[in-house]
Amino acid sequence: MAESAMNHEEKLDKLAEVAVRVGLGLAHGQQLVMTAPLEAVPLVRRITEHAYKAGASLVTTIFGDEQSTLMRFQHGADDSFDTASKWLYDGMAEAFRGGAARLAIAGEDPNLLAGQDPARVARANRARSQAYLPALELISGFDINWTICSFASSAWARAVFPNVSEEQAVAKLWDAIFAASRVDRPDPVAAWGEHNAELRARYSMLNAKQYSALHFRGPGTDLKVGLADDHEWAGGATKAKNGVVCNPNIPSEEVFTTPHRARVEGTVTSTKPLSYQGTLIQDIAVRFEGGQIAEARARTGQDVLQKVLETDEGARRLGEVALVPHSSPISASGLLFYNTLFDENASHHIALGQAYAKCVRGGLSMTEAELEQKGANRSLIHIDWMIGSDKVDVDGVNADGSAEPLMRGGEWVTKAA
């Protein structure tokens, strides 16, 4: 089918096919546990159809309703905000232990909770994070194949395109999602195959180098991010412990690894706003000492940022560092998506909180204590924020302290092999 011949419904169907075949790599007989905003029903149904065609034994979708979430903040008793649906998350963890795959459709209103009491928002998030942890560990530990893809909800579209009609905004956001997810290509599944091969060449080079640190320099940034011992770079396709190859993020442009929790030094300034649970945190400026945030400021959302940093001890340390060329398709769109899945793929980024065990060699079979010994951080949170631009340079620092240029002006110095 020629690109121009595809209408919206066909592209939506291609996105569903990419989510099931590339994102999940769903195996015959697997259950699928899907989470989605209510508005995403048309995509949910297409994914459900592709999942059954791929041999799913059962597809169960847990829909979220943002209006109902908001009602809690409007009408709920103050003593209610430390409660989470632990029974549901424990059920999901049980599904994963039983072999179910996991698909999340993102499309949240980035401003949903903007007007609500930050203390209540933080309490609700903390309760939710604690309740979700057992399920999240099975996901981030790749016990199962999983993926996240996106739906252009109207509230999200209005935030990204505030100056056009809602209908136009939704159409524009869909164009951006389809392009970034490579479903506007004649053969999206093949396009993902090529893309995965490029990412593989890049992270293989970095794994061969085994730098002891990355050095970021740019406006307001002079940051040395020590890497975990035996760190492993990853990107694109991942083989889960159940043997299934999945692409956990649709889209994905990054290669990423695990920093050393105690070896981050210097200052760093965010280059894009962070949309966190309905609050926009802009112009974050942070100073690290011994791996820990010693000072943190933000032009907007500072109170929310402070609450985040108080979540637990690991919330002040890094769990991920990722490199993304400035010329990547999402960056080239020039858009700010107010959604981590997209914005992190337009820019280098670091994440506060939980590290990925798979980014330590042999990490998926290690205990928490063993991972910590390698330098991997542990926390209830994992929050990515963007620190790259065409003005940020990156050096790879060797164990002997010598540095070599890795990225200049936002681009790789060497071509992928």
Tell me the closest approach of the beta carbon of residue 352 to a second copy, in angstroms: 26
Decide: is 78 part of the binding site for a second copy (CB under 8 A). Answer: no
User: Rounded to an integer, what distance in angstroms lies between the CA atom of residue 237 and that of residue 255?
Assistant: 11
Q: In the complex with a second copy, which residue's Cβ is closer, 91 or 329? A: 91
Q: In the complex with a second copy, which residue's Cβ is closer, 15 or 341? A: 15
Q: Which of 244, 311, 183, 205 is nearest to 30 (CA)?
A: 244
Decide: is 63 part of the binding site for a second copy (CB under 8 A). Answer: yes
The helix or strand, by DSSP H or E, that contains position 160, with its residue range, turns out to be helix 154-160
Tell me the closest approach of the beta carbon of residue 27 to a second copy, in angstroms: 12
Tell me the closest approach of the beta carbon of residue 171 to a second copy, in angstroms: 24
Q: In the complex with a second copy, which residue's Cβ is closer, 96 or 203? A: 96
Decide: is 242 part of the binding site for a second copy (CB under 8 A). Answer: no
Q: In the complex with a second copy, which residue's Cβ is closer, 90 or 175? A: 90
User: Rounded to an integer, what distance in angstroms lies between the CA atom of residue 171 and that of residue 169?
Assistant: 5
Tell me the closest approach of the beta carbon of residue 186 to a second copy, in angstroms: 25
Q: 3-class SS at 377?
A: coil
Tell me the closest approach of the beta carbon of residue 97 to a second copy, in angstroms: 9
Q: Which positions from 3 through 42 interact with a second copy, judged by CB under 8 A?
A: 28-29, 31, 33, 38, 41
Sheet holding 403-408, edge to edge: 292-297, 285-289, 259-269, 221-227, 213-218, 393-397, 403-408, 411-412
> According to CB under 8 A, which one of 60, 210, 292, 300 is a site residue for a second copy?
60
> According to CB under 8 A, which one of 59, 106, 244, 359 is a site residue for a second copy?
59
Tell me the window of 52-60, 102-110, 251-259, 361-369 that interacts with a second copy (CB under 8 A): 52-60
> According to CB under 8 A, which one of 14, 24, 48, 406 is a site residue for a second copy?
48
Residue 125 near residue 277 (C-beta atoms within 8 A): yes
Number of neighbours of residue 233 by Cβ within 10 angstroms: 24
Tell me the closest approach of the beta carbon of residue 23 to a second copy, in angstroms: 18
Q: In the complex with a second copy, which residue's Cβ is closer, 42 or 329? A: 42
Decide: is 52 part of the binding site for a second copy (CB under 8 A). Answer: yes
> According to CB under 8 A, which one of 8, 10, 71, 193 is a site residue for a second copy?
71
Tell me the closest approach of the beta carbon of residue 382 to a second copy, in angstroms: 23
> According to CB under 8 A, which one of 4, 75, 163, 400 is a site residue for a second copy?
75
The backbone region for 396, taken as left when phi is positive above 0, alpha when psi lies in -120 to 50, beta otherwise, is: beta
Tell me the window of 54-62, 209-217, 294-302, 381-389 that interacts with a second copy (CB under 8 A): 54-62
Q: 3-class SS at 220?
A: coil
Number of neighbours of residue 27 by Cβ within 10 angstroms: 15
> According to CB under 8 A, which one of 2, 3, 79, 399 is a site residue for a second copy?
79
User: Rounded to an integer, what distance in angstroms lies between the CA atom of residue 328 and that of residue 331?
Assistant: 5
Q: Which positions from 270 through 299 interact with a second copy, judged by CB under 8 A?
A: none
Q: Which positions from 93 through 122 interact with a second copy, judged by CB under 8 A?
A: 94-95, 98, 100
User: Rounded to an integer, what distance in angstroms lies between the CA atom of residue 274 and that of residue 286?
Assistant: 14
DSSP per-residue codes, 95-154: HHHTT-EEEEEE---TTTTTTS-HHHHHHHHHHHHHHHHHHHHHHHTTSS-EEEEE---H
Residue that the structure tokens 């697997």 belong to:
30
Q: In the complex with a second copy, which residue's Cβ is closer, 67 or 163? A: 67
The helix or strand, by DSSP H or E, that contains position 323, with its residue range, turns out to be strand 318-323
The helix or strand, by DSSP H or E, that contains position 295, with its residue range, turns out to be strand 292-297
Decide: is 308 part of the binding site for a second copy (CB under 8 A). Answer: no
Decide: is 83 part of the binding site for a second copy (CB under 8 A). Answer: yes
> According to CB under 8 A, which one of 8, 9, 10, 76 is a site residue for a second copy?
76
Number of neighbours of residue 2 by Cβ within 10 angstroms: 6
Q: In the complex with a second copy, which residue's Cβ is closer, 31 or 379? A: 31
Residue 284 near residue 300 (C-beta atoms within 8 A): no
Report the alpha-carbon angle 324-150-272, nearest 5: 40
User: Rounded to an integer, what distance in angstroms lies between the CA atom of residue 407 and that of residue 413?
Assistant: 5
The helix or strand, by DSSP H or E, that contains position 45, with its residue range, turns out to be helix 41-53
Binding site for a second copy (CB under 8 A): 28-29, 31, 33, 38, 41, 44-45, 48-49, 52-53, 55-63, 65, 67-68, 71-72, 74-77, 79-80, 83-85, 87-88, 90-92, 94-95, 98, 100
